[in-house]
Structure 1
Amino acid sequence: MSYSDGPAVQDQALEEDGALGWDAIDRALAALYGEQQASHYGALIKFRLGGTDPLDGISVYRSEQGRPHWHYVTYGFSDLYGNLDDSQDTAPGKPSGYGFELTFRLACGADEQQPPSWPLNFLQNIARYVFRTGNVFAPGHWMTANGPLRADADTLLTEMGFVQDPLLPPVHTPYGELMFLQLVGLTADELREIRRWNVQGALQAMEPHMPLWIADLARPSLHDLPAVQAAIDTGAADEGSKTGVLYNDVLVFRQRKRLLRSAQIVVRLGSLAVRDLKAMLPARLPHGRTLILAGDGATLEFMPAGEGRGAQLDWQNGHELRLGLSASQVQAWVRSVKGREGEYTVPGLDGLVWKVQTSVITDNLGNVTGRYQE
């Protein structure tokens, strides 16, 4: 990726393009950082002119709040130049472009003079995903990075959560409304626990131990801290989980015929899926919410059902299975199905066999790094 650094790129863009959206971001940052001169990294060729980097620029400020850190702020998810929407819609609440800019806070040493460059590429890669798919982020969303946030680092931070930047309130631009959305680095076990409740509630519980949600590549996981675990347990029990879909590449249905007895449906799934379902089913179905396990070409939908009824089973075309469970049946499933190799049956769920195979864990390059069993 090619960048030019220094304020000249920013000034030139403002002068040549009349970038009122860019100017609105600058004003918001000036209100926070005063006269501090940011390190600015601009794409040599703008994306709208055929460049390869979706973001026109990224500014980086040094902050001493919380702990010394670099504060990265993007330019390009929102409408910077007034040319992304021809509708001339100025209604209140209309988003500017995608309606947000990303921020990222990275811990730094007291004598560190220049911000690391790897977050520039990392944020551009996030932008490529958004520009390619049209999927936008909002407070409470989460995403896996499929590897360390910094590719060559020995770090536990492999996942992401999104919250409103605590020090940058939303702003109104001439092209619509804009929110500053902070990307927060998380560990895999933190995200697994967070999914039992919701991102924003869990991050609030973590914030005393991770001020301003500053990313520290060397930090340990926080999920075992008693205060954090208690907050997530309470939130999951009181409010349930906002995560409605889980993914597992090992999900297959087949029918097993039996002599003189009705056929069974065998559900083959990975041990990691069992681990996640044990955490998520009690946080979804008793609260009246469905939970979907999506695989490669197969879908298993768990639905809430009333007590005193047999399991509600609907098997569609060999690739879609819908299963209604009461709260007591959920607990029976959690007790009976183990996250290790084998076949399991659940009392009250006649006609179903759960065939579990060991999940293989790979890195973002596809290399096997481990196997999971309960």
Structure 2
Amino acid sequence: MNSRNTHDSASQNPEEEGCLGWGAIDAALQAVYGDQQPAHYGTAIKFRLGGADPLDGISVYRSEQGGPHWYYVTYGFSDLYGDLDDSYDIAPEKPSGYGFEMTFRLARDVDEQEPPVWPLNFLQNMARYVFRTGNVFAPGHWMTANGPIKAGADTLLTEMGFVPDPELAPVHTPYGDLMFLQLVALTSDELREVRRWNVQGALQAMQPYMPLWITNLARPSLHELPDVQAAIDAGAARDGSKTGVLYNDVLGFTQRKRLLRSPQTVIKLGSLGVRDLKAMLPARLPHGRPLILAGDGSTLELVPAGDSEGGLLDWHSDHELKLSLTPAQMQAWKQVVKGRDGEYTVPGLAGLVWQVKTSMITDDHGKVTGAYVEQ
């Protein structure tokens, strides 16, 4: 991004220069931050003119709410200038651009005078993902950063959740509607708990320990705090999970012939997949929702069954298998199958063998740093 400059909404002169979307964002921020002049980081060459950065700018405010922190807000996911739609006759609920701008809160040292630069690059990378793929973030979504959210940092924060910003309400602009979507950094343990329920509910449970969901790179994981665990357990049991797909490093199917007996179907999966299935099956199947395990070119879809029709295999291809489970079969699977090397047969699932291989844990460069084995 371009070097820091003091951002003044008046310098944009929205009405004269035709950047009414930008002005609408400024107005929403002024309602919260008053006349504070944020640090603003703009692009030398706009993305639509061939520049490298998708976002036209990012403003950074100082805030004391919830504890001293820097507040980052983007300009560019939404339509800033009215050039993304030829019509100014905006239909109700039409999104402006991608329909959101992203915000991020980072804990600030009391003597820190300038905002850290790394979140600027981080937010631009998020924008590159959206602009490249067309995949739009929304409240309740989550994503992995494939490593520390600050590259090279000694932090447990490697995942992300997205919630409506707690201070900025959605706004209507001349070019459509937009909401302010806050990116919240999470640990891998917290994300596993989030997936058992939903992002908004789990983050509400964590909020007493993370006011306004301010990111603090040095914080510990909150997933084992008794009140957080109890809230997520209760929410998952009551509402079920919104996560329908899990990814695993090892997954595959083979047929094992047996003398004078029917062949067995061998389902090979990694130890991390076993761990995740044990956590997620009770939050999906009892609520009438399927759960898909995907990885290594194969997919295993587990679907709820009635009390007398479980254990049915449905092959869509050699690499796509659907298996129905009754509540009793699900419980038996959880008790029998372990997240460590071995082969396991589950009562009530005749003809199936669960072959578990140890999952390797790698860093963001692909280097193996350990292995997961259920204790």
TM range (shorter): over 0.9
* TM-score, with length taken from structure 2: 0.97
Q: Which amino acid aligns with 2:360?
A: V
Please state whether the residue corresponding to 1:205 is helix, strand or coil: helix
Q: Equivalents in 1 of 2:76, 2:39: separation in Å? A: 17
The Cα of 1:296 is off from its aligned counterpart by: 2.7
Please state whether the residue corresponding to 1:314 is helix, strand or coil: strand
Please state whether the residue corresponding to 2:67 is helix, strand or coil: coil
Q: Show the counterpart of 1:53.
A: 53
Q: Show the counterpart of 1:36.
A: 36
Q: Show the counterpart of 2:191.
A: 191
Q: What are the equivalent positions in structure 2 for 1:359-374 lying under 5 Å apart?
A: 359-374=359-374
Q: What are the equivalent positions in structure 2 for 1:94-133 lying under 5 Å apart?
A: 94-133=94-133
Q: Show the counterpart of 1:244.
A: 244
Q: Show the counterpart of 2:222.
A: 222
Q: Equivalents in 2 of 1:8, 1:39: separation in Å? A: 6
Q: Equivalents in 1 of 2:13, 2:298: separation in Å? A: 50
Please state whether the residue corresponding to 1:203 is helix, strand or coil: helix
1:162 equivalent in alignment to 2:156: no
Q: Equivalents in 1 of 2:46, 2:95: separation in Å? A: 22
Q: Show the counterpart of 1:266.
A: 266
Please state whether the residue corresponding to 2:140 is helix, strand or coil: coil
Q: Equivalents in 1 of 2:349, 2:264: separation in Å? A: 11
Please state whether the residue corresponding to 2:221 is helix, strand or coil: coil
1:18 equivalent in alignment to 2:18: yes
Q: Which amino acid aligns with 1:7?
A: T
Q: Which amino acid aligns with 2:185?
A: G
String of CA shifts for 1:77-102, please: whole Å, max 9, x gaps. Answer: 00001111235551111100000000
CA contact (8 A) 1:303 1:322 kept: yes
CA contact (8 A) 1:10 1:42 kept: no
String of CA shifts for 1:255-281, please: whole Å, max 9, x gaps. Answer: 111111111111111100100000000
* TM-score, with length taken from structure 1: 0.97
Q: Equivalents in 2 of 1:3, 1:200: separation in Å? A: 34
String of CA shifts for 1:147-179, please: whole Å, max 9, x gaps. Answer: 000012100000000000000000000000010
Cα distance change of structure 1 residues 150 and 41 upon mapping to structure 2, 3 Å threshold: same
Q: Show the counterpart of 2:72.
A: 72
Which blocks of at least 5 consecutive residues in structure 2 are unaligned? none
Q: What are the equivalent positions in structure 2 for 1:81-100 lying under 5 Å apart?
A: 81-88=81-88, 90-100=90-100
CA contact (8 A) 2:88 2:174 kept: no
Please state whether the residue corresponding to 2:3 is helix, strand or coil: strand
CA contact (8 A) 1:99 1:179 kept: yes
Q: Equivalents in 2 of 1:360, 1:131: separation in Å? A: 32
Q: Equivalents in 1 of 2:331, 2:76: separation in Å? A: 47
The Cα of 1:308 is off from its aligned counterpart by: 2.4
* RMSD over equivalenced CA pairs, Å: 1.4
Q: Equivalents in 2 of 1:51, 1:255: separation in Å? A: 54
Q: Equivalents in 1 of 2:286, 2:330: separation in Å? A: 8
The Cα of 1:4 is off from its aligned counterpart by: 2.8
The Cα of 1:352 is off from its aligned counterpart by: 1.1
String of CA shifts for 1:330-373, please: whole Å, max 9, x gaps. Answer: 11111111000111111111111111111111111111111101
Please state whether the residue corresponding to 1:273 is helix, strand or coil: helix
